[in-house]
């Protein structure tokens, strides 16, 4: 028996029931990995547009308690992908933290340990999906659906999460393109789809002054061509409209994408030399965004948990209106979303305008920056990418910094990796704040995640080519 499998023995009976992918015996060709990647994204997008059976449209289009985090979770309300990649992300994060804190001991050099840990992560994701689906039905998110329809909704949501778990395992086993995980790729595809739809949507909406195109580009083109005789005022109104996506939001989205790609490309190269007789040389890149967008993703996951707990307490018959409810968050229903108007949930939510409430904007920015810097440092330790871990792996490959004695690799990396992690977390947080303040399409976190995912995917494809 493997050393680390004792604490995970409870998962063994369930491991064979969870969908899994067999690891390939050799490297999968590039064209097959590209085909699997495209098919996986297509399956996810189709499920993102298939409505849940047994749920009325009116019940699924009311107040949305998770409106602010759906871009990050790749979630579409009222569809099979109601839960999105949330269960997979939560399960992966919990397993990472439990392994890093030695609560669960896994020897990654033992194949049985690795397979058991992967099975535990998949089982945990499905358990989380079952809990979230049951809570959504019991709390009335879909209205009064009844016992039978409620059970059908839970089965549909858990089955869709099982598909996401299977596709995530497909990428983990090497059947997807390098440079992107299934979770990040699905989130990026969901965000890019929303940006494209809000830019070129042909749907017309009547907002009191005639029918307008929902897509910002089509609306501006229509006002510039079909309504040219009405003067420039109508064109400016289409560019700056506040009731539908406008060109300002689209330009801000493009600016954030370019800034994220630029920051992703900044890196410092640490020179390395082999101890072998040939003395081959190489470099170890330390990127400015050393932890990529993981700090803001973890921050968003924590905010999501706060939202759920706060709303449960706020709408509770026993705790609603009490001190705990006011401390966590006070909620009001406004249009299509439940909006926090007080408590901690209010201050961790991006304000609609900086000038309307400067104190709210200042507290929100300070909390987000501090959280991103701290979570970036914590993720470096939890993910095994700290200076000590990297120096150990380089030592196993007999790579050292040229002109330095043995053991100096750790001291060189310890000067740049913690700094890059903290500074990268601050940069990601600052860019997210700018995105939220300028009203980008989607959310700042979603745009950042999409930009870094597409950038890394393109770089990996270029290297393989």
- Is residue 213 helix, strand or coil? strand
Residue 235 has pLDDT above 60, yes or no: yes
Residue 210 has pLDDT above 80, yes or no: no
Q: How far apart are CA 67 and CA 441, in angstroms?
A: 13
Strands (E), 67-183: none
Per cent of the chain over pLDDT 70 is: 88
Mean pLDDT (the chain, rounded): 81
- Of 46-55, 299-308, 344-353, the one with minimum mean pLDDT is 299-308
Segment 304-329 mean pLDDT:
78
Whether residue 424 contacts residue 288, with contact meaning beta carbons closer than 8 Å, is answered with yes
Across the beta sheet with 399-400, what order do the strands follow?
281-287, 267-274, 399-400
Predicted local distance difference test score (pLDDT) of residue 2: 44
Taking Cα atoms as reference points, which of 139, 165, 163, 166 lies closest to residue 150?
139
Predicted local distance difference test score (pLDDT) of residue 3: 47
Residue 65 has pLDDT above 70, yes or no: no
Q: Which residue has the higher pLDDT, 93 or 121?
A: 121
Encode burial over 248-268: b for 16+ CB neighbours within 10 A, e otherwise: bbbebbebbbebbeebbeeee
Strands (E), 187-298: 204-206, 211-213, 267-274, 281-287
Residue 350 has pLDDT above 60, yes or no: yes
Give CB contacts under 8 A, 24+ apart, made by 31-34: 32/175, 33/174, 33/175, 33/176, 33/177, 33/178, 34/177
Residue 151 has pLDDT above 70, yes or no: yes
For 13-30, write each residue's pLDDT tens digit: 777 777 778 888 888 888
Residue 152 has pLDDT above 70, yes or no: yes
Residue 41 has pLDDT above 80, yes or no: yes
Residue 370 has pLDDT above 90, yes or no: yes
Q: Which residues contact 23 (CB under 8 A, 6 or more apart)?
A: 173, 174
Q: Which residues contact 16 (CB under 8 A, 6 or more apart)?
A: none
Per DSSP, 154 falls in state: H
| Other beta carbons within 10 Å of 190 | 27
| Other beta carbons within 10 Å of 347 | 18
Per cent of the chain over pLDDT 90 is: 11
Task: State the DSSP H helix or E strand holding residue 68, giving kind and residue range, or none if neither.
Answer: none
For 242-265, write each residue's pLDDT tens digit: 778 888 888 888 898 888 888 888
Predicted local distance difference test score (pLDDT) of residue 277: 58
Strand-pair category, 204-206 with 211-213: antiparallel
Q: How far apart are CA 194 and CA 201, in angstroms?
A: 10
Q: Quickly list H helices, 26-110.
A: 30-47, 57-60, 70-73, 86-100
Q: Which residue has the higher pLDDT, 85 or 320?
A: 85
Segment 71-84 mean pLDDT:
84
CA 238, chain centre distance (Å): 32
Q: Which residues contact 182 (CB under 8 A, 6 or more apart)?
A: 40, 85, 88, 164, 167, 168, 170, 171, 172, 176
Q: Is 244 left (phi over 0), alpha (psi -120 to 50) or beta?
A: beta
Encode burial over 415-453: b for 16+ CB neighbours within 10 A, e otherwise: eebbebbbebbbbbbbbbbbbbbbbbbbbbbbbbbbbbb
Banded pLDDT at 4 (limits 50, 70, 90): very low
Print the SS3 string covering 311-365. Answer: HHHHCCCCCCCCHHHHHHCEEEEECCEEEEEECHHHHCCCCCCCCCCHHHHHHHH
**Tokens (6 digits) for 53:** 């059976």
Q: How far apart are CA 241 and CA 86, in angstroms?
A: 33
**Tokens (6 digits) for 327:** 């401390």
Whether residue 176 contacts residue 210, with contact meaning beta carbons closer than 8 Å, is answered with no
Q: Which residue has the higher pLDDT, 441 or 464?
A: 441
For 270-291, write each residue's pLDDT tens digit: 888 887 756 678 888 899 888 8
Segment 311-340 mean pLDDT:
76
Predicted local distance difference test score (pLDDT) of residue 319: 67
Predicted local distance difference test score (pLDDT) of residue 365: 92
Segment 363-389 mean pLDDT:
89
**Tokens (6 digits) for 8:** 């995970």
pTM score > 0.85 for this model?
no
- Is residue 268 helix, strand or coil? strand
């Amino acid at each position: 028996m493997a050393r680390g499998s004792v604490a995970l023995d409870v998962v063994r009976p369930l491991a064979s029931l969870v969908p899994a992918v067999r690891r390939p015996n050799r490297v999968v060709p590039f064209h097959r990995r590209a085909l699997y990647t495209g098919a996986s994204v297509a399956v996810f997008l189709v499920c993102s547009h298939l409505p849940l059976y047994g749920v009325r449209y009116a019940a699924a289009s009311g107040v949305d308690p998770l409106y602010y985090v759906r871009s990050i979770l790749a979630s579409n309300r009222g569809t099979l992908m109601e839960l999105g990649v949330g269960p997979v992300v939560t399960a992966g994060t919990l397993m990472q933290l439990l392994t890093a804190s030695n609560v669960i001991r896994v020897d990654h050099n033992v194949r049985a340990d690795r397979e058991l840990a992967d099975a535990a992560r998949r089982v945990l994701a499905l358990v989380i999906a079952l809990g979230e689906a049951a809570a959504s039905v019991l709390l009335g998110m879909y209205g009064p659906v009844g016992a039978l329809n409620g059970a059908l909704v839970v089965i549909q949501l858990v089955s869709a999460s099982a598909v996401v778990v299977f596709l995530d395992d497909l990428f983990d086993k090497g059947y997807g393109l390098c440079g992107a995980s299934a979770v990040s790729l699905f989130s990026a595809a969901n965000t890019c789809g929303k940006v494209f739809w809000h830019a070129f949507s042909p749907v017309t909406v009547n907002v009191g002054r005639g029918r307008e195109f929902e897509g910002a580009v089509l609306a501006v083109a229509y006002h510039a061509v079909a309504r040219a005789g009405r003067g420039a005022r109508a064109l400016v109104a289409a560019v700056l409209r506040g009731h539908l996506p406008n060109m300002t939001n689209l330009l801000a989205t493009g600016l954030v994408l370019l800034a994220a790609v630029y920051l992703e490309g900044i890196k410092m190269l640490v020179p390395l030399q082999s101890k072998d007789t040939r003395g081959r040389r190489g470099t170890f890149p330390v990127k400015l965004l050393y932890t990529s967008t993981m700090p803001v993703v973890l921050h968003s996951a924590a905010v999501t948990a706060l939202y759920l707990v706060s709303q449960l307490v706020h709408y509770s018959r026993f705790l609603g209106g009490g001190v705990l409810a006011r401390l966590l968050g006070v909620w009001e229903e406004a249009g299509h979303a439940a909006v926090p108007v007080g408590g901690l949930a209010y201050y961790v939510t991006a304000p609609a305008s900086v000038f309307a409430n400067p104190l709210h904007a200042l507290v929100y920015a300070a909390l987000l920056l501090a959280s991103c810097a701290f979570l970036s440092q914590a993720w470096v330790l939890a993910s095994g990418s700290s200076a000590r871990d990297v120096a150990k792996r380089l030592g196993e490959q007999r790579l050292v910094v040229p002109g330095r004695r043995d053991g100096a690799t750790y001291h060189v990396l310890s000067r740049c990796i913690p700094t890059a992690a903290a500074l990268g977390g601050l940069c990601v947080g600052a860019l997210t704040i700018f995105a939220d303040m300028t009203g980008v399409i989607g959310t700042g976190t979603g745009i950042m995640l999409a930009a870094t995912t597409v950038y890394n995917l393109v770089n990996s494809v270029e290297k393989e080519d």
